[in-house]
Structure 1
């Protein structure tokens, strides 16, 4: 089974996890690791290394969802993804959003973490659109 780590600058990862749980319920095997201003890069590196090390030894693969390409969380995750000899593969996706977090919950049983990463990217692209006003009135009730 896969493990998902959401790694971001500031509290975004925690907020995505909290929002995801509000919509989905329990998000098993999904964790957040944040780079905080007061802790700095060294504290983030230590927390990320500990979290990822735990995940690679207890998962069939680790999917790291980062906030932005070339940011510290993505750069650190990418180093692990390229590290030979890990007990489980690591795939990194930059540009995390809430639909991605929710979609990842459906894919934890998939055998190939790199295929999961490709699917999430494709599905996330499809979920992004410009919103226009409706031409007919729409009720606010659910």
Structure 2
């Protein structure tokens, strides 16, 4: 971090590049785990310019409560193995919608009916006619 005449810290280009590489590596680990778990209807959104919460949002579906829970468990184990074991988890007790905050990547795992109701793809997608929309 560098200071610009007493104002808030500003990231140097080198730090921004390293952060982007780490986020990309984390995203690759998440996507690989979700594919191994047979997660369905995978959508990845780049939200770096829309929110300071994370750089990427991943939205997937599981076929049932049990499948959603299994996807979440598998992903949490893989994140821990990848060195990102401090992920925060919400919703794992009911497994209708599990939210995993892994820092630079936020993962939403839904049952199809719940995913269709909230339709996060439409809310977070770029404002174009081709914005993804979950219909399932």
TM-score, normalized by the shorter chain, greater than 0.5: no
Q: Does 1 or 2 have the higher relative contact order (CA < 8 Å, sep 6+)?
A: 1
More helix as a share of residues: 1
TM-score, with structure 2 as normaliser: 0.31
More strand as a share of residues: 2
TM-score, with structure 1 as normaliser: 0.30
